[in-house]
Amino acid sequence: MKFKILIALAMISTASYANFIPCCADYDGDGLLDPAVYHQDKGCWEILLSSRGYSTRLIQYGLVGAIPIVGDFDKDGLVDFACVIPDAGIWAILLSSTDDVVMFSFGNDEW
Ligand SMILES: [Ca+2]
Ligand SMILES: [Ca+2]
């Protein structure tokens, strides 16, 4: 058991985690929280889905440098992927109910 823990710690210490943001939510809608990170250097999401034995799922949605947001914006019971482009104040939400992307400007210095 100690051997397995040491191997896991060695893997953690050698990996680069400088460009990820944790963004856990229930992505598969089974009522259990799914560990997830947004890779800011790649503009993609990496999720460990509880309904699939915490296997990894990659979602390519977002832009390099964007800030990830999670929430159920269309109230269909499933998490919607969203990103904010901080320099432009642009929000882009991928609605789970329709797969449409809704974009709007909010939070910039225009007001
Ligand atoms: Ca889940
Ligand atoms: Ca939704």
Query: Ligand 2 centroid vs 75 CA: distance in angstroms?
Result: 5
In a domain, 110, yes or no: no
Mean pLDDT computed over 48-64:
95
Q: In this prediction, what percent of the chain has a pLDDT beyond 70?
A: 82
CB-proximal residues (5 Å) to ion ligand 2: 72, 74, 76, 78, 80, 96
Tokens of 62: 């977002």
Provide the domain limits for residue 97.
18-105
Q: What is the pLDDT of residues 57-93, one digit of tens each?
A: 999 999 999 999 999 999 999 999 999 998 889 999 9
In a domain, 101, yes or no: yes
pTM tops 0.85: no
In a domain, 2, yes or no: no
Q: What is the tally of structural domains in the chain?
A: 1
In a domain, 70, yes or no: yes
Q: Which amino acid is at 8?
A: A
